[in-house]
A = this chain, B = another copy of it.
């Protein structure tokens, strides 16, 4: 990055411009097999106007911009393979407005989901999307995040109503609508959600909130096979079961969680972790419906009505990452996810389990199975993540998801990690994604080298 740009950034941001290598290295992340590339500079913005200024400056000098929030993405979304300026939005963390009647919150992009939910505590409302990490709202919107309760409340695609979005020419676009629905024009908001910082930078988001349910009941259900667990899920959802969370853990994952959370005390077989939301009678009838479905597939249901039991259960689920690392001491987990139609989930999981066994891998499986989505944490020895065998395994996993009519990522996104799968997944449609990218960001300034593989040298 040339000296005049640095000088102008210093004039604009003073001490909020950081050039030290130690800092810059905290603002990049890359999945296995991808080189870690820090940005040339990090600027911490505090207002929409500051984002506009840095966009205009970078545009003038042809410098790349990489927006950053809580830095919890997993596929290299904030890596900087072409250098440039990382736009750190973490200090834009004001909650601007909560509208109880409309059930919306208007927030700056750096607000985290835990911060928002703490703020909402007295309102009887909550923000539903929970990807595990305490991610920022801007980052969650940019990556189309979802998580354990998306089976009931939807992903970020359904939970952002409107946004202010800084475009490559420095314009601020107000996208979406505060109204519950709109039939006026192209849905630019839907293109913004999941565009991973390649088209614009969020400066404000209006998100949907949901009423805190009158009753919340959690439970576990053990099965003798993953197949029976998945059949139960499909059968229950097909009968209209209303459920807020329905999470699969395979036997390996259960063993590791048992070892980590002594109080959990599950039998070492595949389990579903469950949570029901609603008024008391709805929850009671949902639990009965679920028990009937599970019974047909040999499932043993244990319901926890007490808050402490429920908290312990979901803590165990959220601690799974740590549990797996404790179980496989000295090894490092490589997280990946795919998502397939529910009708193919069982077949896809059993083919994957066979591949794990044949490949001699340790890879516990956990899944948001109501969404057809499952994750593996492949436990690797030092240096193994670069190995051709692991890359070949990941490649078979992606191909398998596509062969079942699924997607190479249900949650983690493309970034740099899954970029090479875009053509296989989208075929002719990829050219139209690239056309939209070129139309909205003709100089390829926003997060280059991601998603469309349009390195700047090609675009110019």
Contacts and interface: CB of A to CB of B under 8 A. Distances in A.
A353 to B, nearest CB: 19
Contacts of A213: 240
A373 B177 CA distance: 13
Interface string A161-199: 000000100011111011111111111101101110001
Contacts of A372: 179-181
**Which one of A124, A339, A429 has the highest number of Cβ atoms from chain B below 10 Å of its Cβ?**
A429
Interface stretch (A43-51, A220-228, A413-421): A413-421
A50 to B, nearest CB: 18
A234 interface: yes
Nearest to A199: B186
Given A186-B194, A195-B186, A284-B281, A181 B341 contact: no
Contacts of A157: 181, 187, 190
Given A174-B426, A238-B211, A285-B282, A339 B179 contact: yes
Given A414-B183, A432-B167, A101 B234 contact: yes
A318 to B, nearest CB: 20
A343 B239 CA distance: 34
A430 interface: yes
A188 to B, nearest CB: 6
Interface residues of A, number: 96
A48 B199 CA distance: 32
Interface stretch (A299-307, A326-334, A388-396, A400-408): A400-408
Contacts of A418: 184
A428 interface: yes
A434 to B, nearest CB: 9
A413 B187 contact: no
Contacts of A412: 183
Contacts of A150: 181
A285 B284 CA distance: 12
Contact of A181 (B188, B237, B339, B343): B339
> Which one of A180, A240, A371 has the highest number of Cβ atoms from chain B below 10 Å of its Cβ?
A180
A440 B438 CA distance: 11
A155 B234 CA distance: 24
A62 interface: no
Contacts of A435: 439-440
A431 interface: yes
Contact of A425 (B158, B184, B428): B184
B240 A429 contact: no
Q: Give the interface centre of A102, A158, A280 by most chain B CB atoms within 10 Å.
A: A102
A185 to B, nearest CB: 6
A341 B179 contact: yes
A279 B289 contact: yes
Given A103-B238, A179-B406, 11 more contacts: A100-B238, A145-B183, A173-B428, A174-B426, A179-B340, A181-B339, A181-B411, A183-B413, A184-B425, A185-B451, A281-B285
15 contacts: A101-B238, A102-B342, A174-B428, A178-B405, A180-B372, A182-B410, A185-B422, A185-B426, A185-B430, A211-B238, A213-B240, A242-B282, A279-B285, A281-B284, A282-B282
